[in-house]
A and B are shown apart, each in its own frame.
Chain A
């Protein structure tokens, strides 16, 4: 009767979850392929290009010709002759970033909020002053930075990794639990002599098993094909990813603790994740948000995870400077777990 070939329930439960995921082509796409596609496409779109000359308009008139030749001297400027009306229209539409009037002492029309407009004003002014006879006191040496690690794609990849850890942690755990609850499977498990802690632990274990290929695929792709550097230790990077995965598993467990339907849990998931998609610095820096929003944004688990991942990958940080971020992750993980266990609906 009793036979020794039977594996422990925790092993069987974990195996069942892993099998389910592996046999779900859509899940595999979202977990493995999608982040790589996104990194590839965005990396291409925002690849480093030689700086483009700034388009500026010179209003046609008596001064125009000499000014055009003066501005053409500067390779960073792309001057063009336009009528007064055309020039204003081009400025409004973004075709040019600055308009030089035809007055004897020129007037610059530009939008001071746009960095490109401000840069154009400095370059145009310097070129015209020089043409009018000003002598530069000195010419500073130039030293240009284009090394990997400072490009947009370098900023992007750790953010995508964080986003992926959040998404798979929450969907992976949340969906399967709600499906099991909805189909009476959770109840059926409870009716069997299996520990409830094993049922939940199997969810976490299967998550951690998937973490390795999931994070590995994205990092390897970025490292091989996009030249994204990993300046810190790979071990520390792995540990930060692990902690992030656990934290979002806790959050996933909590969102799935009560709902009975997929619709119900999807709503809660989106409510939880959308603020982090926008606010946690996946695609652009959290510095863009006003100071008043910063305490909220810095307290989000994905912000902490992204910051820690970037620090390890791009700045080569060791564990010590990461402590605040790691503390935020641990706190979120522990609180959500404890709360989820308390309110979990088994039937």
Chain B
């Protein structure tokens, strides 16, 4: 990370959105007191990391990107263990309820699904009733249903005015959960704002995607000249236009294609998302490794 200057307020859910390797985990581990930055200053809950930082750690909840809890222990035993580390916190049963794991309380960790393990990890982060919660890629590797379940839990925490810092490379996740998002790439923050504000900052808020079989006669210049088109990119036969006004751009596009004797095999439009923000800023997709 380089030249990172961020401030997160109490009660806020702050997201760091970026592709793998962007430096999100490094940043969050520095904040968690697990890594030491080469240079720079930071304060967590008004304190700085000193020594083993036990008193500060007691106020934080941490979920690492991947933690393998002992497979032979039960869910309740793992959570009871973590609860014992904290001077204060809700009863184990209450935390199990928060992450919807009551039914699995006596199941061994080794028998849990990926989503259940992730929820156990979240429960351990909540064991000490933290003022500030760090979630590193909380839904990576989960199926869509497990992901939505995790989102509901985080939304429940937001409703209880916890401060949350999370990292993700899913734009839907950032858009749905975060009050503010820092878009991170190659160790730099390249955009910062509310998810809605970031999308609005795009000149062209709409995206038109289409594909044509033969594209010999089609060139970028011709498409760029169409009304309200701001950007053109292609990936083989797949084209992607960013446009200000769909109702003006699409008829003009179809006319232009017909004039060249081309028929699109596929055409969709959608409102721009954070994914498009990232694409317009870096020229790459978030999922590109």
Contacts and interface: CB of A to CB of B under 8 A. Distances in A.
B199 interface: no
Interface string A166-202: 0000000000000100111101101111111000000
B68 A183 contact: yes
Residues of B contacting A: mostly:
loop
A12 B58 CA distance: 17
A198 B63 CA distance: 21
Contacts of A7: 84
B85 A192 contact: yes
A320 interface: no
Contacts of B52: 195-196
A185 B64 CA distance: 9
Contacts of B91: 3
Contacts of B72: 19-20, 23-24
Nearest to B87: A2
A200 B108 CA distance: 24
Interface stretch (B73-81, B158-166, B203-211): B73-81
Nearest to B83: A6
Interface string B82-101: 11111111110000000000
B70 A16 contact: yes
Nearest to A188: B67
B73 A19 contact: yes
Contacts of B108: 23
A28 to B, nearest CB: 12
Given A191-B34, A193-B58, A185 B88 contact: no
A7 B86 CA distance: 11
A55 B21 CA distance: 77
B32 interface: yes
A2 B91 CA distance: 8
Could you say which of B65, B77, B78 has the most chain A C-beta atoms within 10 Å of its C-beta? B77
Interface string A315-347: 000000000000000000000000000000001
A184 B86 contact: no
Contacts of B88: 1-2
B11 interface: no
Contacts of A179: 68
Nearest to B71: A20
B66 interface: yes
A195 B52 CA distance: 8
A8 B86 CA distance: 10
Contacts of B67: 183-185, 187-188
B82 A192 contact: yes
B64 A193 contact: no
A13 B81 contact: yes
A16 B128 CA distance: 19
B132 interface: no
B44 to A, nearest CB: 12
Could you say which of B72, B85, B88, B124 has the most chain A C-beta atoms within 10 Å of its C-beta? B85
A106 interface: no
Contacts of B83: 6
Contacts of B84: 6-9, 11-12
A192 B57 contact: yes
B62 A188 contact: yes
A193 B33 CA distance: 11
A185 B69 contact: yes
A301 B60 CA distance: 44
B152 to A, nearest CB: 24
A102 B55 CA distance: 94
A198 B261 CA distance: 76
B28 to A, nearest CB: 11
A192 B66 CA distance: 15
Interface in B111-133: 124, 128-129
B54 interface: yes
Contacts of A20: 70, 72-73
A19 B34 contact: no
B284 to A, nearest CB: 29
Contacts of A183: 66-69
A13 B70 CA distance: 12
Contact of B34 (A6, A23, A187, A196): A187
B90 A191 contact: no
Nearest to B128: A193
Contacts of A191: 32-34, 57, 60, 62, 64
Closest 6 CB pairs of A and B: A183-B68, A193-B57, A193-B58, A12-B84, A23-B72, A191-B62
Interface of A: 1-3, 6-9, 11-13, 15-16, 19-20, 23-24, 179, 182-185, 187-188, 190-196, 347
Given A179-B68, A185-B70, 4 more contacts: A3-B91, A9-B84, A184-B67, A191-B57
Interface of B: 32-34, 52, 54-55, 57-58, 60, 62, 64-70, 72-73, 77-78, 80-91, 108, 124, 128-129
29 contacts: A1-B88, A2-B87, A7-B84, A12-B80, A12-B81, A15-B77, A16-B70, A19-B72, A19-B73, A20-B72, A23-B108, A183-B66, A183-B68, A183-B69, A185-B68, A188-B67, A191-B64, A192-B82, A192-B85, A192-B86, A193-B54, A193-B58, A193-B85, A193-B86, A193-B87, A193-B128, A194-B54, A195-B52, A196-B52
